[in-house]
Structures are given as structure tokens and as C-alpha cells.
Amino acid sequence: MKTIYSAIQPSGIMTLGNYIGAVNNWNNMQADKDNKCIFALADLHTITVRQNPQDFFNNSLSFYALLMAVGLDVNKSIVYFQSHVRQHSELAWLLNCYTYVGEMNRMTQFKDKSAKHVDNINMGLMDYPVLMAADILLYGADLVPVGYDQLQHIEITRDIALRVNNIYGDVFKVPEGFIPKVGAKIMSLQDPESKMSKSDPNPNGVISCLDAPEVIMKKFKRAVTDSDTRIAYDPENKAGISNLLRILAVAEGKSVEQVEAECQGLRYGDLKVRVGESVVEMLRPFRSEYDRLIADKAYLLKCAKDGAEKASAIAEVTLNKFKSAIGFVPRQG
């Protein structure tokens, strides 16, 4: 049995990139009976950047409903809000005392985000990777599926775990990060050199999993390609076309090679229509399931509560093990 752990921030919209790059792979891992899967909405991470309370609340609930709508099954996996499980914050504090300021200062994401939010370089932004380490280590995760941009955070998680284990013996399982093969990186439709991101200033570059079919078609028709006419999977030289082929492969459940072969001879405009239509069909059932779920808040909150209870039970054991190794006097009762 392998423990799989991953999380996503409930900020903004869930993009097609989030689905293909992350959540779709979570579905696949959930389907394997040898995996015990735990997935969190990393809402404590989200407040490292200032959020409007009403939007944050709505986005968080909406993300929970979306995770269920696109395929996570709360009877198979643990799906919960990070903020519902206090052990995350507590372990993050403890781990802070085993993490060096210099290490955090070197984190690429911290440097990028500091440059982007110069007026709000808060301690949480710097401490982000330590909270992430706490997430992962609490559950004794074997494998942590993430995107490329998070690999450095997995590395630091491993360093911290090894450091603690060196001092106190075998406290933490040292996790492995991995990049799922399928559609690891979906790029912006308007700037295929950069990742499809909910914070993309150009909304035409980003597909939301809840976009209406007409909107999806319009965005694909405007997708940036190149001045060539050849359809080929060549991410180096044909970033736009390669991105479309990668999306098409996932939407049609085929390999990139297969869709590349099938699309030979198509004009770029026809390729874009085909990708758009396939994406519309892939997302259609998600939207209707989402509409059904979001209308039943009591049910969503009940699922989240069950998830948090299951998560806490596991997290508490790890936290106590570490606290006792450090030498804290245990609280009685």
C-alpha cells in the first residue's frame, strides 16, 4: 500500500491546466487499489497572498465541489480542507525550528512571489515550503504528485525530514516527489511559453473547468500557434501546437503520438476546433455535476467534515510522535 498525498490551492478558478496537470492524475491514482490517497485544499497556503474574504470563501467551497465533480470520490480518498486540520499549523511551527532562513531565502517560488507582491512579503510567504513539508510529512506520504514548479519544495521537505530523522531517529517517512507523465504542463493558449495559470493577465489564455462551451470554443479558436503549417509534437519549436496536442490527447484519452498522427494534414484552424470540441465534451459532465453539488452546501460541508476527521486522526499520531521525540511533556487526557 502506498500513501499518495497532494494538495491544490483554492484560489481563483480551477483551470484546465489544474485539471490535466494535477487533478486528472489524482483520479488515476485513486483508481489504483494499492494507493491510499489523501488530497487537500491548501487554504492555509492561499492566505500568503491577500484574499478578499467573500471570494476566498466562495472559491474554497467551489473548489471542493469541483474536486468531487471531476472525479475525486470521498469514499475512496480523503478530501479535506487543510485549515480544518490544526495539526498542519502546529507541525509547521515545529518544523520551522529545523529549517534555516537561508534555505527559505533561496526558494525560487519565494523569490518570484516576493517580486510580484512587493507590498506584502509576509512571513507566511517565506514559510510556505515549511507548511507544505508539514502537509506531506503528517501523513507519511510515499509519493507526492506535483508540477515542476513544486519540485524544489519537495526537495526541501525531504531535507527537513532527513534532518529531523538524523537528530531523533526515525520520525518521518521521507517522501518522493513525482511528475505524472500525462499532460504534466499545460501552457497558456495565448503565450504557450508560459504555464496556464489562473493569474494569467490575459483571460483568453486560460480555460476554466466551468467555462461555458461557447467560451471554450472561442478561446481555442484564438489560441496562439506559429507561422508554419505542419502539425507536429515539438515543444521546443512548436510550443503552441504541442500544447494543443497535449490537451487533445488527454481530452480524447489517447497518447500524444496517436493524436499527432490523426491530425496530420489538418489546418491549424481545424485542429483548434477539434481540440475545443473535445475539451467541451470532457468538461460537460463536470459542469453539470458541479452545479448539482454546489447547490447542496450541507452535503459538501458534511463530506469535508468527514475528510477532516479522517485526516486529523492520522495527523495526530505523527505530530505526537515528533513532539515526544523532541521532549515535550505530553498533555494528559
Catalytic sites, residue numbers = 113, 195, 198
Instruction: State in angstroms the smallest separation of the CB of 269 from ligand TRP.
Output: 34
d(CA 283, CA 278): 9
Question: Is-contact 167 27, C-beta < 8 A?
Answer: no
Closest by Cα among 79, 168, 75, 83 to 134? 83
Among 43, 135, 200, 260, binds ligand TRP (CB under 6 A): 135
**For residues 35 and 150, which CB has a smaller minimum distance to ligand TRP in the complex?**
150
Instruction: State in angstroms the smallest separation of the CB of 323 from ligand TRP.
Output: 21
Q: Which three cell numbers stand for residue 193?
A: 511559453
Q: In this structure, are strands 176-178 and 143-145 parallel, antiparallel, or unpaired? A: parallel
Q: Number of residues interacting with ligand TRP: please give it, by CB under 6 A.
A: 13
Instruction: State in angstroms the smallest separation of the CB of 131 from ligand TRP.
Output: 7
Residue 127 near ligand TRP by CB under 6 A: no
d(CA 203, CA 250): 22
Residue recorded with cell 496562439:
224
Question: Which residues touch 224 (CB under 8 Å, ≥6 apart)?
Answer: 189, 190, 191, 192, 240
Q: What phi and psi, each to the nearest 5 degrees, are found at residue 45?
A: -70, -35
**For residues 208 and 225, which CB has a smaller minimum distance to ligand TRP in the complex?**
208
Among 132, 156, 196, 311, binds ligand TRP (CB under 6 A): 132
What binding mask, one character per residue, do residues 35-64 give for ligand TRP by CB under 6 A, x or -? -------x--x-------------------
Residue 24 near ligand TRP by CB under 6 A: no
d(CA 21, CA 147): 7
**For residues 9 and 208, which CB has a smaller minimum distance to ligand TRP in the complex?**
9
* Contact set with ligand TRP (CB under 6 A): 5-9, 42, 45, 132, 135-136, 144, 146, 150
